[in-house]
Amino acid sequence: MELLLSEEEIQKRVKDLALEISKDYKGVSPVLIGILRGSFVFLSDLIRHLTILPEIDFMSVSSYNTLTKSSGVVRILKDLERDIGGENVIVVEDIVDTGLTLTYISRLLMARLPRSLKICALLDKRERREVDIQIDYVGFVIPNKFVIGYGLDLAEKYRNLPYVATLEESEIGEPEENTP
């Protein structure tokens, strides 16, 4: 395990992002949609630095993933509680990797006719992108390594770390690779 982003770096960047969003949405009450579970740490820090009054809702999706790869097929496990028709929506995600999950979610939300829809992601693993997707607010562009901490997990563990660290292949233990 190797430290990639320290707690201090993350906190500073999250505060800056919040100020940028507050400026862009001055006089508007956006609806922030946290994609569970990975985004909950980021979202909760982000909203505490906003100088506007957002509403918060959550959506839980499961992508049919192997341990570390996304398939882009997404199933809604928990839908929004509220209608977003006519609202200014900001989707808050922990990390954009291939971009498949967010592409799917954006399409689904656009069909509900929000007034606007923007995307805010803490981490952008740009090298791995398979579909072109615009991310309006990016915390950090990171190298193509598997990361954990600050909400991000490996098999549901490590979400509680206050920093982001990279894991080596040998520490991940992808099941396929263990199969003879």
Active-site amino acid positions: 97
Chain centre distance of CA 114: 19
For ligand IMP, give the closer residue by CB, 90 or 100.
100
- Rounded CA-CA distance 87/117 in Å is 8
| Contact string (CB under 6 A) for ligand IMP, positions 100-139, x = contact | xxx-------------------------------------
For ligand IMP, give the closer residue by CB, 37 or 112.
37
Q: At what angle do helices 40-47 and 7-24 cross, to 10 degrees?
A: 60
Least distance between ligand IMP and beta carbon 89 (Å): 17
99 in contact with ligand IMP (CB under 6 A): yes
Rg of the chain on CA atoms, in Å: 16
Least distance between Mg ion and beta carbon 28 (Å): 26
Instruction: Name the residue among 108, 116, 137, 105 with its Cα closest to residue 35.
Output: 105
Least distance between ligand IMP and beta carbon 50 (Å): 22
Residue 89's binding partner, choosing from Mg ion, ligand IMP, none, with beta-carbon cut-off 5 to 8 A by kind? none
- Rounded CA-CA distance 76/13 in Å is 30
Q: Which residue is it, tokens 């001055």?
A: 26
